[in-house]
Structure 1
């Protein structure tokens, strides 16, 4: 039974690293990290998609072995959550309409069930597969927008559902890789942007409206959330590795030097504090050391970062979502550690921006509380919420669970409203 499975494993297969976290619910029901392993994945993953299965397998095997050795808990092979991303991932906003024909015109659970199922009837092609689905909101009589329509009086109910989907074969590659490591059971994929949101956002932010941007080495995922519902999501096949590549080309430096440069927070902090004008760098053509103007470095970085943020800005502006982000924006992922990221993002969006770090982290692994681990920690949080839902499934009605807090995310792979409506708190 699922309710006995308190050990959850989250796996992030990224461009720069493969990370494995093992978590367990403690006696109070809170998720605690009990194992951790990671390995560099250079060349294995490109723009969020597996490019070399052999290299990826070696790195994943090492990460899993290290996590297993560091933990006194056995990995539950039936309870694995893996983050997926890539340019193949997209979304559609499904709409389902039901006419309320009862004499009192009160909306029942059956009406909501029918509207949800209708919204999910947007057929995907045989090459596509649903990854996650989420309630966005309900609309009564085309006017009143709310989260819980039960017992409300209306003639018409509309359910808006946000469905994230991707290329079936590319998603399958992640699953096959895990099967090769020895995880034979069905794997639960979770969109990386969703996992990051679980890992770093507060309830207040999700209620009032927030943009979460996860900028890793190879991709940038983003979600716009309001009143606990996802309004928009997306992936850009551009990450911080592209910034390093821009520096390499623009300054005639080896890519490894540029990667180290971007990780040198003290250098850029000194620039902001005392206006340091030049930096001595070795690694140019023929290994010659030279002084490079800091403003040249900053210009190259700013151009790429602004380009990424402007693309997201324009996509959200086109659908009139920016005004719904009362809590501003959160930036996470490895790029968030770069000192200028927050300022650049704040300037583009004209919103308050904070650093997104994993929230409520506990356990023996202390360094997980940085933006680099937002996604993999979020996988544990997602799996833990799923565990809680399954634990209460037989003891409470659907709407008792909804009103108790599990109020807006359906289960992976398009579980129907009748099986688990609004099962996970987002």
Structure 2
């Protein structure tokens, strides 16, 4: 029943746990062949708070994906998010002293090692070290320096790091369910970007915002490389919580109102529109004015987008976003969010769906599946690197506590 070239991406989110099965074709393309989704329990703000409960949800999601794809799932690539995820940029330098002053693969490995030598909190682990660019004797934006002549090689990397213990909790949540095993972990925001951005859009520059239930991940890329990334600890659950507090209704009723009637667009016609809470237990009014509901939602979403705008301005990349903004995650379904985001960010905005894989259109066309599909893409990149590494001497993997310690120099 097993397929030898299947890659599985698993996202343990605040609102849902999603498992996506992709098939790696002989030509390197990835096709989604199965999806399994389970409502999330035991997870808060993208971090595990009840291991046993979360494990049961992971198991249900994995079993549903197995039935959907007709395969047995063993190894998975897992996503990581949460307020503990951070990033920084760093530079490494390596003198070129080989024959004829030509850059060798050993020089590239050495300069990347220097660039990865950074000060991060002791409790953190590096998830990714993504090469932004190379420079040879002042010639910048070099794609592949091997074979070029020079005396000085520089490399810039974007490092994404996370708290080790919280990352290990994600791994343990999966490994406690044999025969499931974790091949490697990826930052969810990076995965979403891998799913939705084409090579042209990466070069033009783009901002990917993945708005989930408990967090909002973002990735800023320009000239084909990630320039900045991070997590804002606000998501769709905060919108429902604001509605619950503002209207004095149960959280379950607030979530229903958000999904069925909510919008972040304010129109004059809303002032006369009402929503009945028949059958709902409420200490407030039993009839809600729609403009009040939408105003509450708008304030929270606008605040979240302003936090992202602040990060965009801090990165210095606002003028490099030629392809615009891509919204993914469940909150991308909020009515009017595209127009609101354009107003706050001052950039063209579109709903982001998976463009870099093939397969089940019902999954590819839904922005809430962008992250797990992107994790599958990440897994395909890892396996391609493994095949290349197997043909090169001296390329080994070192594991500590089940987390891959060697930082693969993946190009975005």
What's the TM-score bracket when you normalise by the shorter of the two chains? 0.7 to 0.9
Name the residue aligned to 2:377.
381
1:10 and 2:9 are equivalent in the alignment: yes
Deviation at 1:271, TM superposition (A): 7.1
Normalising to structure 2: TM-score of the pair? 0.87
1:212 and 2:208 are equivalent in the alignment: yes
Asked if 1 retains the 8 angstrom alpha-carbon contact of 2:271 and 2:289, the reply is no
User: 178, 192, 196: which is aligned to 1:196?
Assistant: 192
Name the residue aligned to 1:403.
none
Normalising to structure 1: TM-score of the pair? 0.85
Name the residue aligned to 2:327.
331
Name the residue aligned to 1:407.
none
Equivalents in 2 of 1:279, 1:92: separation in Å? 48
Equivalents in 1 of 2:265, 2:158: separation in Å? 44
Equivalents in 1 of 2:115, 2:148: separation in Å? 20
Name the residue aligned to 2:287.
290
Deviation at 1:138, TM superposition (A): 2.2
Secondary structure of the residue that 2:362 maps to in structure 1?
A: coil
Asked if 2 retains the 8 angstrom alpha-carbon contact of 1:218 and 1:237, the reply is yes
Deviation at 1:214, TM superposition (A): 0.3
Name the residue aligned to 2:337.
341
Equivalents in 2 of 1:230, 1:237: separation in Å? 21
Secondary structure of the residue that 2:117 maps to in structure 1?
A: coil
Aligned pairs for 1:15-30 within 5 A? 15-26=14-25, 28-30=27-29
Secondary structure of the residue that 2:301 maps to in structure 1?
A: helix
1:281 and 2:276 are equivalent in the alignment: yes
Deviation at 1:72, TM superposition (A): 2.1
Equivalents in 1 of 2:27, 2:6: separation in Å? 14
1:178 and 2:174 are equivalent in the alignment: yes
Secondary structure of the residue that 1:8 maps to in structure 2?
A: strand
Secondary structure of the residue that 2:245 maps to in structure 1?
A: helix
Deviation at 1:219, TM superposition (A): 0.4
The superposition leaves residues 10-44 of structure 1 with CA deviations (integer Å, 9 ceiling, x where unpaired) of: 111111111112222245543223332221114x1
Deviation at 1:360, TM superposition (A): 4.8
Query: Per the alignment, do residues 96 and 279 of structure 1 end up closer, same or farther by CA in structure 2, a change over 3 Å counting?
Result: same
Equivalents in 1 of 2:364, 2:98: separation in Å? 53
Equivalents in 1 of 2:228, 2:201: separation in Å? 15
RMSD: 2.9
Secondary structure of the residue that 1:181 maps to in structure 2?
A: coil
Asked if 2 retains the 8 angstrom alpha-carbon contact of 1:120 and 1:414, the reply is no
Secondary structure of the residue that 1:74 maps to in structure 2?
A: coil
User: 245, 248, 254: which is aligned to 2:244?
Assistant: 248
Secondary structure of the residue that 2:107 maps to in structure 1?
A: helix
Choose 232-241 or 306-315, whichever is displaced more. Answer: 306-315
Asked if 2 retains the 8 angstrom alpha-carbon contact of 1:132 and 1:413, the reply is no
Equivalents in 2 of 1:28, 1:273: separation in Å? 54
The superposition leaves residues 239-276 of structure 1 with CA deviations (integer Å, 9 ceiling, x where unpaired) of: 011011111111222222221222226x6499769667
Asked if 1 retains the 8 angstrom alpha-carbon contact of 2:174 and 2:181, the reply is no
Q: Which ranges in structure 2 are unaligned for 5 or more consecutive residues? A: 394-402
Equivalents in 2 of 1:307, 1:259: separation in Å? 19
Equivalents in 1 of 2:150, 2:244: separation in Å? 61
Equivalents in 2 of 1:174, 1:359: separation in Å? 27
Query: Per the alignment, do residues 139 and 273 of structure 1 end up closer, same or farther by CA in structure 2, a change over 3 Å counting?
Result: farther
Alignment size in residue pairs: 400
